[in-house]
Amino acid sequence: MSPRYRVTLTTDERQHLEKLTKNGKTHAKRVIHARALLLCDAGENGPALKVGDVGEALGITSRTIEHLKKRFVEDGLEAALKRKPRDKPPREIKFDGTFEAKLGIVNLL
């Protein structure tokens, strides 16, 4: 089966990603995503490894890599490296008297 999204990095993009991976002041997830893009690079300078091999080497799932490749192809390099913003805010949890009573019972046990 052919890959759905083909990552081909330009020389500038490749240099930028290599710099990110060697910087030492970059968040771990961003470094892993940069390394994944470098390993998936199907251009003339890239190794063009299979998604499964990249996932095994970096300790991430192939689904994560496929989503990363999709963001790179559709939205560009910076969008692929950034965390996607939430579509809706997190659910607000309200504590009522019943919950607090149960919590008090659990603490006593």
The answer to whether residue 33 is domain-embedded is yes
CB atoms within 10 A of CB 63: 10
Q: Residue 53's pLDDT is what? A: 94
Alpha carbon distance 30, 90 (integer Å): 23
For residue 75, give its domain range: 11-81
Residue 60 in any domain: the answer is yes
Determine the pLDDT at residue 56.
95
Q: Is residue 90 part of a domain?
A: no
Indicate the pTM of the whole model.
0.76
**40-85: pLDDT as tens digits:** 999 888 898 999 999 999 999 999 999 999 999 999 999 999 887 8
Contact 64, 35 (CB under 8 A): no
Count of the separate structural domains present in the chain: 1
Residue 106 in any domain: the answer is no
The answer to whether residue 91 is domain-embedded is no
In a domain, 98, yes or no: no
Q: Would 67 be classed as within a structural domain?
A: yes
pLDDT tens-digit readout, 31-52: 999 999 999 999 888 898 999 9
Measure CA 91 to chain center: 23
In a domain, 43, yes or no: yes
Confidence tier at 4 by pLDDT (50, 70, 90): confident
